Amino acid sequence: MPRFGYVSLVGRPNAGKSTLMNRLVGTKIAIVSDKPQTTRNRILGVRTYDGRGQVVYLDTPGIHRPQHRMNVRMLDAARDAMRDVDVIGLVMDVTEKTGRGDMFAVDMTKRADRPVVLILNKVDLVARPKLLPMIDAWNKGFGFTEIVPVSAETGENVDRLEQAFLDHLPEGEPQYPDDYLTDKPERFFVAELVREQVLRHTRNELPYTTAVVVDKFEEPDESGLMRLYCSILVERESQKPIVVGRGGDMVKRIGTGARLELERFFDTRVYLDLRVKVQGDWREDERVLDELGQ
């Protein structure tokens, strides 16, 4: 019998969950950056394995100490994603020393009372002699269902991880069409791909105080041109010139990078209009957070 079920990917910020998610579903549906807390929403992705089953993967925000209402919602999303799944994949970054935050994440998965597969990610960045003691240490006393070392970046050992998930899912027929990818609307990916470029081009505190709103979404016209109008939100007036840049050079770089990603994603030509707006304390504003889907 084939297998069907839900797998939640959880872990600390920057553990590589989104890179792994994209690798597992076979295409980019989660934005990636080197900034912590890049993922703000639960993202669903479906992968069908011919003859073996279908897995619904859930990428989640990184588990961290919340400082704003937005962060509280992010942590709630991570918790919720562990409640109604069949298997939890706990992603750990093997290049970082294990700390209290990691142990907090471990405790959260234990309380969920589900099979937990420990995923030791970024093994391509550590010497192999160091890896075996790590696996041995995690094997002692934690009771993980399985421990699988992988590299989400290179794809190393991901096939073994996929089989581990399938092994622990219940028997069942696929519930989604073979070509089904995600439940997120197109506007979500527009905002995320623009925000990815904001993360890539800005530094310091700006990545955490910015958000993207899609003001207008026009389907491709007869010539195949899609028109998109978005606003980049910042919290303070002093931040607006940083995002705009001298003579508009920064927002132009953000727009060029985002347009290229959007054209790849939608496979059509894109006209992208970006504006920068000040929305004070938007991370504490329930109405704005609802509008952003966060």
Domain boundary pick from 167, 201, 236: 167
Identify whether the C-beta of residue 118 lies closer than 8 Å to the C-beta of residue 138: yes
Q: Are residues 192 and 267 in the same domain?
A: yes
Sign of CA dihedral 122, 126, 132, 136: negative
Q: Are residues 61 and 197 in the same domain?
A: no
C-alpha distance from residue 101 to each of 17, 107, 260 (Å): 16, 10, 36
Q: Are residues 149 and 190 in the same domain?
A: no
Q: Is there a domain that residue 136 lies in?
A: yes
Q: In which domain, by residue range, is 288 found?
A: 186-292
Q: Is there a domain that residue 271 lies in?
A: yes
Identify whether the C-beta of residue 66 lies closer than 8 Å to the C-beta of residue 21: no
Q: Is there a domain that residue 178 lies in?
A: no
More confident residue, 148 or 60: 148
User: So what's the pLDDT on residue 92?
Assistant: 95
Is residue 244 over pLDDT 60?
A: yes
Q: Are residues 31 and 88 in the same domain?
A: yes
Q: Is there a domain that residue 173 lies in?
A: no
Domain boundary pick from 167, 197, 228: 167
Q: Is there a domain that residue 179 lies in?
A: no
Q: Mean pLDDT across the chain, nearest whole number?
A: 91
Task: List the CATH number of the domain containing 213.
Answer: 3.30.300.20
Q: Are residues 162 and 98 in the same domain?
A: yes
3-class DSSP state of 234:
strand
Task: List the CATH number of the domain containing 31.
Answer: 3.40.50.300
Q: Are residues 73 and 157 in the same domain?
A: yes
Averaged pLDDT, 133-143: 88
Q: Is there a domain that residue 91 lies in?
A: yes
Is residue 206 over pLDDT 80?
A: no
Helix, strand, coil in percent for the chain, rounding step 5: 40, 25, 35
Return all residues near 91 (Cβ < 8 A) that are at least 6 apart: 9, 10, 11, 15, 16, 17, 20, 119, 121
Residue in the block written with tokens 């050992």: 157
Q: Are residues 148 and 192 in the same domain?
A: no
Q: Please give the Cα distance from 179 to 181 (Å, whole number).
A: 6
Q: Which pairing describes strands 211-218 and 3-11: parallel, antiparallel, or unpaired?
A: unpaired
Read off the tokens for 17: 């969950």
Identify whether the C-beta of residue 168 lies closer than 8 Å to the C-beta of residue 114: no
Q: Is there a domain that residue 248 lies in?
A: yes
Is residue 294 over pLDDT 70?
A: no
Q: Which pairing describes strands 116-121 and 146-149: parallel, antiparallel, or unpaired?
A: parallel
- Tens digits of residue pLDDT in 26-64: 999 998 988 777 888 889 999 999 989 999 999 988 886
Domain boundary pick from 120, 135, 167: 167
Q: Please give the Cα distance from 232 to 153 (Å, whole number).
A: 29
Return all residues near 204 (Cβ < 8 A) that are at least 6 apart: none
Q: Are residues 15 and 106 in the same domain?
A: yes
Q: Are residues 130 and 208 in the same domain?
A: no
Count: domains in the chain? 2
Q: Are residues 193 and 245 in the same domain?
A: yes
Is residue 139 over pLDDT 60?
A: yes
Q: Where are the beta strands (DSSP E) in the chain?
A: 3-11, 43-49, 53-59, 87-93, 116-121, 146-149, 211-218, 225-234, 269-278
User: So what's the pLDDT on residue 70?
Assistant: 76
User: So what's the pLDDT on residue 66?
Assistant: 67
With cut-offs at 50, 70 and 90, classify the pLDDT of residue 209: confident
The percentage of the chain sitting over the pLDDT mark of 90, rounded to a whole number, equals: 67
Q: Are residues 208 and 139 in the same domain?
A: no
Q: Are residues 29 and 59 in the same domain?
A: yes
User: So what's the pLDDT on residue 67?
Assistant: 65
Q: Is there a domain that residue 71 lies in?
A: yes
Q: What φ, ψ does residue 283 adopt, rounded to 5°? A: -70, -15
Burial of 218 (0-12, 13-18, 19+ CB in 10 A): exposed
